[in-house]
């Protein structure tokens, strides 16, 4: 008897579970009688989609369309179908569905989705086949422009070697010293000879010889013969400008290493990674005014292209930041005696009557800082002459060309406390800079300067974009460079501005106890 009771109880449990299952089926499968055309099928599709069964949901949505629903429901169902095609089916499922729906709606969406899926797995041949069928048979399709864009992208990919980087530098001619220094850094940045890691980068090098025409031809060869995805260089204003024009015309991103004014205005494929006079003027004036409290400045400059440009930039920046220029004097590049200019700046140009009186003139120093945009060799001649005329307590300011071991030679005591700026400091404590200096010395047998640091960063940025799988076309490289922000370069945290110029905070350096010291 007890055995029969147990059997009855088990049967009861089974029946209850069956009833519960039937109830669940009835909840998930709504009654369609009395509903508008297609609504029941659409609801079934919604339930399946919520459960993650996109393939089955797709079929029910298609059944809903075959029921000839009203315009509102038809629009809603089509949006769901197109969403599933775009994001809800695997590559194999897309192929399976395409067999069932090879004509009519939504065959165009399926062809485009298959092209995108093939492209995503880098089966470019299959992607091209699907695209050709889509673009030839669905000209008025809402995704037609997307298809054209994808075909152009695939065509661009076929034009370039995504791992090929070009380099244009003056390796012979009068600028060969600078070009070969930069080339050492470019090679190191590419990693092609790094024993500790494998680099996919392929480096193609062209000699511009410092000639603008040669630079232009070098860019053309790199683009058309070597199919590079980007170019570093060249140096020099004229050569860089011609190279930039050709790169823009060919649609090849280029990072120039030049001070050429407004070179990035050539176009959106042209970038610059260099230490410009404008950067230095901004940094020097900002530090002088905001950190040292200096408001009044004077300028003593060589009457040559570099001196005149730096004088103009510095003067403009002083006025822009609220300071005043109290005096400006040029001198010849061959001078060694600067007495006349110093007297002019300080009111010591006496008349014959004043000189006859025998009284020692007192200099009128109405400026707190003197900017000298010349070499440290010339500055070391000017500084003791200032002391000779009793002009003391004036802050001397210089440019990056003061950041040289030459500044520590005889007469450096007169430059003690002088302030200058640069983008690279050999004694930096930053680990990445120390590592770069060590690796450069091992590879090249010498210490790098700011030219090497700039060339290294320009090349390394492109190499990192490539190895990070962010670049397949030249357009990708251009867009990637445009979006660079706070890149931890050897020359500092770097971002490319909206104009294509690399922006970074510069080092503020000073001469202290006979050594070059970084103070910011």
Q: In this structure, what are the phi and psi dihedrals at residue 255, rounded to the nearest 5 degrees?
A: -110, 105
What CATH class has 164-275+430-508?
alpha beta
Angle formed at CA 13 by CA 9 and CA 15, multiple of 5 degrees: 115
Instruction: Assess if CATH 1.10.150.120 describes domain 277-422.
Output: no
Tell me how many degrees the CA angle 436-442-448 measures, rounded to the nearest 5. Answer: 50
Confidence (pLDDT) at 354: 54
The Cα–Cα gap between 449 and 422 comes to 10
At 428, is the secondary structure helix, strand, or coil? coil
Helix H or strand E segment including 328: strand 324-331
Q: Quick one: DSSP state of residue 362?
A: -
Question: Residue 164: helix, strand or coil by DSSP?
Answer: strand
Look up residue 392 and give its two tokens.
């003391």
DSSP symbol at 162: T
Domain with CATH 3.40.50.2300 in the chain: 164-275+430-508, 277-422
Q: What is the DSSP pairing of strand 502-503 with strand 507-512?
A: unpaired
Nearest to 310 by CA among 334, 342, 286, 285: 285
Whole-number Å distance between alpha carbons of 272 and 499: 9
Structure tokens at 518: 């970084």
Q: What is the pLDDT along the chain (520 residues), one digit of tens a residue?
A: 444 444 334 333 333 333 344 333 333 445 555 678 889 999 999 999 999 999 999 999 999 999 999 999 999 999 999 999 999 999 999 999 999 888 899 999 999 999 999 999 999 999 999 999 999 999 999 999 999 999 999 999 999 999 999 999 999 999 999 999 999 999 999 999 888 888 999 999 999 999 999 999 999 999 999 999 999 999 999 999 999 999 999 999 999 999 998 899 999 999 999 999 999 999 999 999 999 999 999 999 999 999 999 999 999 999 999 999 999 999 998 899 999 999 999 988 754 445 555 566 788 999 999 999 999 999 999 999 999 999 999 999 999 999 999 899 877 899 999 999 999 999 999 999 999 999 999 999 999 999 999 999 999 999 999 999 889 999 999 999 999 999 999 999 999 988 899 999 999 999 999 899 999 8
Which helix (H) or strand (E) segment holds residue 493: the answer is strand 492-496
The pLDDT score that the predictor gives to residue 38 is 83
Q: What is the pLDDT of residue 23?
A: 36
CA nearest to 186, candidates 496, 422, 448, 475: 448
CA distance 346 to 366: 8
Residue 511 near residue 302 (C-beta atoms within 8 A): no
Q: What SS3 state is found at 235?
A: strand
pTM for this prediction: 0.82
What is the C-alpha separation between 438 and 480, in angstroms, rounded? 29
Cβ-based neighbours of 486, under 8 Å, separated by 6 or more: 493, 494, 495
State the number of CA atoms in the 13 A half-sphere of 166 facing the CB: 34
Nearest to residue 398, comparing CAs of 289, 509, 513? 509
Answer yes or no: are the C-beta atoms of 502 and 273 closer than 8 Å. yes
* Residue environment code for 445-469, b if the CB has 16+ CB neighbours within 10 A, otherwise e: eeebbbbbbbbbbbbbbbbebbeee
- DSSP H or E run through 509: strand 507-512
- For residue 37, what pLDDT is reported? 80
Residue 481, sorted as left (phi over 0), alpha (psi -120 to 50) or beta, turns out to be: alpha
Q: What pLDDT is recorded for position 194?
A: 85
């Amino acid at each position: 008897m007890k055995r029969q009771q147990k059997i009855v109880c088990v049967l009861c449990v089974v029946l209850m579970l069956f009833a519960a299952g039937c109830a669940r089926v009835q909840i998930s499968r709504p009654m369609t009688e009395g509903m508008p055309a297609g609504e029941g099928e659409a609801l079934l599709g919604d339930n399946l989609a919520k459960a993650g069964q996109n393939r089955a949901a797709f079929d029910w949505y298609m059944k809903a369309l075959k029921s000839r629903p009203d315009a509102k429901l038809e629009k809603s169902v089509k949006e769901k179908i197109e969403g599933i095609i775009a994001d809800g089916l695997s590559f194999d499922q897309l192929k399976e569905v395409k067999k069932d729906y090879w004509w009519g709606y939504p065959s165009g969406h399926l062809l485009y989705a298959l092209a995108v899926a093939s492209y995503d797995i880098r089966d470019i041949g299959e992607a091209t086949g699907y695209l050709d069928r889509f673009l030839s048979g669905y000209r008025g399709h809402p995704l037609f422009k997307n298809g054209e864009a994808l075909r152009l992208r695939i065509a661009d990919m076929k034009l370039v070697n995504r791992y090929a980087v070009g380099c244009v530098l003056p390796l012979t001619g009068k600028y060969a010293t600078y070009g070969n220094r930069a080339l050492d850094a470019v090679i190191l940045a590419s990693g092609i000879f790094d024993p500790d890691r494998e680099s996919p980068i392929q480096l193609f090098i062209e000699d511009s010889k410092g000639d603008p025409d040669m630079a232009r031809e070098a860019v053309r060869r790199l683009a058309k013969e070597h199919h590079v995805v980007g170019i570093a260089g060249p140096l020099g204003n004229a050569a860089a400008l011609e190279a930039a024009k050709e790169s823009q015309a060919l649609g090849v991103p280029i990072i120039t290493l030049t001070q050429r004014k407004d070179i990035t205005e050539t176009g959106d494929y042209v970038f610059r990674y260099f230490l410009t006079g404008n950067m230095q003027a901004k940094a020097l004036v900002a530090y002088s005014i905001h950190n040292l409290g200096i408001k009044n400045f004077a300028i003593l400059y060589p009457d040559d292209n570099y001196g005149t440009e730096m004088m103009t930039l510095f003067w403009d920046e002083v006025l822009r930041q609220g300071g005043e220029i109290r005096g400006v004097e040029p001198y010849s590049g061959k001078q060694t005696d600067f007495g006349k200019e110093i007297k002019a700046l300080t009111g010591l140009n006496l008349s014959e009557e004043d000189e006859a009186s025998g009284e020692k003139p007192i200099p009128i120093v109405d400026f707190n800082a003197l900017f000298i945009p010349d070499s440290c060799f010339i500055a070391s001649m000017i500084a003791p002459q200032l002391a000779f005329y009793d002009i003391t307590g004036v802050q001397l300011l210089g440019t990056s060309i003061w950041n040289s071991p030459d500044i520590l030679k005889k007469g450096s005591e007169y430059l003690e406390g002088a302030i200058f700026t640069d983008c690279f400091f050999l004694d930096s404590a930053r680990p990445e800079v120390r590592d770069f200096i060590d690796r450069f010395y091992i590879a090249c047998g010498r210490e790098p300067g700011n030219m090497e640091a700039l060339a290294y960063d320009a090349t390394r940025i492109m190499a990192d974009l490539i190895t990070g799988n962010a670049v397949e076309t030249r357009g990708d490289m251009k867009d990637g460079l445009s979006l660079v922000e706070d890149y931890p370069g050897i020359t500092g945290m770097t971002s490319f501005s909206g104009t294509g110029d690399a922006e970074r905070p510069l080092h503020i350096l000073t001469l202290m106890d006979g050594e070059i010291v970084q103070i910011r």
